[in-house]
Amino acid sequence: MDRVFAEHPDIAAVVHCAALIIVPDSVADPVGYYRANVSKSLEFVGHLLRNGCGRLLFSSSGSIYAAGEDFSVTEESPIEPLSPYSRTKAVCEGMFADIAATEPIRVLSLRYFNPVGADPEYRTGLQVRRASHAVGKLIEAHTAGEPFRITGTNWPTRDGSGIRDYIHVWDLAAAHVAALRRFDDILDGPTRSTVINVGTGTGTTVRELVDAFNSVVIPPVAVVETGPRPGDAAGAFTCSDRAKRLLGWEPRHSIADAIRSALRWAEIRDERLGDGDGDGG
């Protein structure tokens, strides 16, 4: 990190996206998750302070919320992380806020919901072939001609499957650009840290996601129902009013757009990355 800053003294802000993110893995290995997500984040912010970088944009998670009765959340909703993964994100937010209160650094946390899709120009996309998220699993099932597993069908949602706020990764990327451009306007005066939800504002159940996927593929993917994975929750979706007001940002892409881009990226991934083993991180 010292070398990077020495070679690039004009760095004015840092985007911190690095984390382990698989909920069941975090249940099985909490030590590894706290070490990677919390301890290394603390070390990282120490590097920023030593090198005089005073702006940190942190990738947080909407999974830290306790959802309301309709599964919607805002930035003021109660915090109730249900897995070691989500707790690491909540801990990091609190840690960064404490540091920003007394040190020469300001922190803007973007609470992600459920990114899907790939760069519309297909310069990059999901780096691993064996994905852990729903769209990746749907693509795997479609490619293999196997059924897709809906994990959890007894949640108190409109169809029993989990509910999520699926956002095209390109919209999420645009939110980061807007956050960097408006960083000083958002965190001015005595305000040293704050949070912004980044989602579409629309809740989509897993069954509805399967229907959207099947609307753009032939043949359609069959489904089988299984129990929830360790650490799973019913899910949530966000009101994005704060993102619109502070970032001047709104999502522009549909779930179908995201699915189409993910499908195309899966076809060309190895060619683009030059990585034939499917395990690149």
- For strands 114-116 and 55-61, give the pairing: unpaired
Catalytic residue of the set 33, 34, 65, 85: 85
| Nearest by Cα to 27 from 79, 85, 80 | 85
Query: How would you class 185 by CB atoms within 10 Å of its CB: exposed for 0-12, middle for 13-18, buried for 19 or more?
Result: exposed
DSSP string, 96-160: HHHHHHHSS-EEEEEEE-EEE---TT-S---S-SS--SHHHHHHHHHHHT-PEEEE---SSSSSS
**How many alpha carbons lie under 13 Å from residue 36 in its C-beta half-sphere?**
15
- Residue 65 appears among annotated catalytic residues: no
- Alpha carbon separation from 130 to 76, 115, 141 (Å, rounded): 35, 16, 11
User: Which of these, 8, 59, 46, 23, lies nearest to 169 by C-alpha position?
Assistant: 59
Residue 124 CA to residue 117 CA, distance in Å, equals 10
CB neighbour class for 63 (10 Å; exposed up to 12, middle 13-18, buried from 19): buried
- Positions marked catalytic: 85
